[in-house]
Amino acid sequence: MWRTLHRQVVQMMEEGEDGPRWIEIPSTSEGELPRPEPGQLYHDLGSIYPDAPVPRIDGELVIRRAVLHDVTGLDDIFNWAAEGEVVIVELGKIINRGFEFETAIEQIKNFIVKDVGGSLVQLGEDRVLVLPPGVSGVDGLEKESFEHSP
């Protein structure tokens, strides 16, 4: 995906179009990506440190992804939104469970919109974008889901 995006941006720039500024990142360069060798020690840092204490810069926006399996997963979503983070919530695992789905949506709506002052944006049939206060959805822009207001 990233290589395709890089090629499209380079093509836009060659054609003289105003395109996004591209930052060359070694991991996205052409060629084969390194793969662990058999027997090589591999550490999945995301699973070892799921909430690593990364220092935040003022005005920085963190985007998280969550798959909601049941209502017990709502606490993490609420905590992230209360901390000012954007959350993309996948509801596919719970969407066909009637009452549990309705309960989850009602709790999300009550906490995010009424208590925290954020907003919700539906993304397709089975996803919702949870926006904290200060971040609002923009109607009609397909390429930009939200804007940040300092």
- Could you confirm whether domain 2-148 is CATH 3.90.1530.10? no
* Cα–Cα distance list, 21 to 10, 44, 144 (Å): 10, 31, 16
* Distance between CA atoms of residues 29 and 61, nearest Å: 26
**β pairing state of 63-67 and 86-90:** parallel
- Encode burial over 110-141: b for 16+ CB neighbours within 10 A, e otherwise: ebbeeebebbbbeeeeeebbbbbeebeeeeee
For 43-96, write each residue's pLDDT tens digit: 777 777 777 666 667 777 888 998 998 888 899 999 888 888 899 999 888 888
* Distance between CA atoms of residues 95 and 100, nearest Å: 8
SS3 4: helix
Average pLDDT of 7-20?
54
pTM over 0.75: no
